[in-house]
Amino acid sequence: MSQTDPDTKLARVALTWLAEPGNAAVHRLVSTVGPTAALAQIREGQGLDEPARTAAAARRSTADPHEVAAAALDRAARVGAHLVTPEDPQWPRQIDDLLRLVRRSHPASGPAGLRDSAPPLALWVRGPLPLDAALSKSVAVVGTRAPTEYGRHVGGELGHGLADRGWTVVSGGAYGIDSAAHRGALAAGGPTAAVLACGIDRPYPSGNAALFDQIAETGLLISEWLPGAEPLRHRFLVRNRLIAAVTSGTVVVEAGARSGATQTVRRALAIGRAAMVVPGPVTSAMSVGCHEILRDHPQARLVAAVAHVQEEIGRIGFDLAPTPRGPVRPRDKLDPQAARILEAVPGRGLIGLDDLAGRAGVDIRTALRQVSALQAQGLLTGVDGRYRLTQPAPR
């Protein structure tokens, strides 16, 4: 539970209401003077640039920030949620890497997902797991809301396999790949976390309400927005940078040409996280975004199995994916002389021992010895002193 003093907690909630999460100007002011003093300055119309000051003034004209914050804390408590702030021991310190995005963006330009990229001021959390422990070994699995059967299968397999290996599977709780990953993790009895783009008490989409309740029983629901906040379009873009920051890496399973999932991967790349892509058919519109990431970003890695993902985000030199190998055939075990003898046998018809030895470049005694061994292994058949390849038995 939170160990933040009440005034600081109230100030952080009020600041999150006055300015949308990710606001760089507000984060910069809080980092300089602290949350309580920052709130006092903003209430006086000071301390912010013009866009942020205008937005905060519009909110202040509708309600008192302290009253809004107190009501939000009460509403969260009624649904079993609590607030975690940077002053708490369980705050995930890797979130601070979002400052790299702030330095690369300009507050007056660029898409909302890049412009509003500062670390959150606080997080609302519902579920039994400590936030920092759950996210210390976590991986994001994201993708389209309208997957193919292939994508849904792969998303579920990745969620199940990663959770089974002790990784917390993080996603956005949406239909499609997100849901498949969450359900895979739940089926494995492992932890999963859904990062929401709305209030912790009104998970979206509503059709996944039962899934969110399952996640809250054994994993975590996480949100930056006050309880009751609506799932507005731009909030999904802002939310995606948090998914990228709290995890060790992001896997995108299927994504169209215009997809928030690809934006999550690009945020992961920008802050130095592992970025992984599951390839798909070149004929599928749901694979266009995945393939474009691989084309545009050499750092992104192609993954096709849980072992590949673990190799990218696991311990260097330990969590290595096994090298794919085909089935071992009897010919693979032959010594070089036996292999030459077998290669010298024509594909059709019979061959005598003298001709076989000449074609293989070995003496008669060696040829006779190797021919006997090859017959014992069922690779050669002898007919009246001549030899041919053994035909495989019909299936």
Q: Are residues 236 and 162 in the same domain?
A: yes
Nearest to 92 by CA among 199, 206, 168: 168
d(CA 219, CA 348): 64
Q: Is the pLDDT of residue 121 over 80?
A: yes
320 domain residue, yes or no: no
Q: Are residues 219 and 334 in the same domain?
A: no
DSSP conformation class of 328: P
Q: What is the mean pLDDT of the chain?
A: 90
d(CA 121, CA 20): 10
pLDDT for the residue 102: 83
196 domain residue, yes or no: yes
Among 270, 287, 313, the domain-final residue is 313
Q: Are residues 309 and 335 in the same domain?
A: no
**Other CB atoms within 10 A of residue 13 CB:** 28
pLDDT band of 51, cuts 50, 70, 90: confident
346 domain residue, yes or no: yes
Q: Is the pLDDT of residue 318 over 80?
A: no
**Residue 289 · residue 259 · CB < 8 Å:** yes
d(CA 263, CA 266): 5
117 domain residue, yes or no: yes
Q: Is the pLDDT of residue 329 over 90?
A: no
CATH of residue 367: 1.10.10.10
pLDDT for the residue 393: 55
pLDDT tens column, 345-387: 887 788 888 888 888 888 888 888 888 888 888 888 888 888 8
Among 249, 280, 313, the domain-final residue is 313
169 domain residue, yes or no: yes
89 domain residue, yes or no: yes
Cα 280-149-308 angle, rounded to 5 deg:
45
Which residues are CB-contacts of 383 (< 8 A; sequence separation ≥ 6)? 350
Q: Is the pLDDT of residue 283 over 80?
A: yes
In the chain, pLDDT over 70 holds for what percent of residues?
91
- Report, as an integer, the average pLDDT of 34-46: 92
Q: Are residues 194 and 254 in the same domain?
A: yes
d(CA 80, CA 76): 6
Q: Are residues 90 and 234 in the same domain?
A: yes
- Report, as an integer, the average pLDDT of 169-179: 98
The H or E element spanning position 142 is strand 138-142
Q: Poorest-confidence range of 225-234, 250-259, 344-353?
A: 344-353
pLDDT for the residue 388: 86
Q: Are residues 211 and 137 in the same domain?
A: yes
Q: Are residues 355 and 294 in the same domain?
A: no
Q: Are residues 168 and 236 in the same domain?
A: yes
CATH of residue 208: 3.40.50.450
pLDDT tens column, 381-392: 888 888 888 876
Coil, strand or helix at 282: coil
- Report, as an integer, the average pLDDT of 59-83: 95
Q: Are residues 124 and 165 in the same domain?
A: yes
Q: Are residues 217 and 357 in the same domain?
A: no
In the chain, pLDDT over 90 holds for what percent of residues?
67
Cβ-based burial of 243 (10 A; exposed 0-12, middle 13-18, buried ≥19): buried
Domains contained in the chain, number: 2
Range of the domain at 341: 330-389
Among 260, 285, 313, the domain-final residue is 313
130 domain residue, yes or no: yes
- Report, as an integer, the average pLDDT of 174-183: 98
323 domain residue, yes or no: no
d(CA 292, CA 262): 9
- Report, as an integer, the average pLDDT of 320-334: 63
**Residue 169 · residue 141 · CB < 8 Å:** yes
Interhelix angle 6-18/50-60, nearest 10 degrees:
110
Strand extents, DSSP E, 161-305: 168-171, 192-196, 220-223, 249-252, 274-277, 301-302
pLDDT for the residue 46: 86
Antiparallel, parallel or unpaired: β 386-389 and 351-352: antiparallel
Kindly list the distances between the CA atom of residue 148 and the CA atoms of 190, 251, 253, 352, in Å, as whole numbers in the listed order. 25, 17, 10, 58
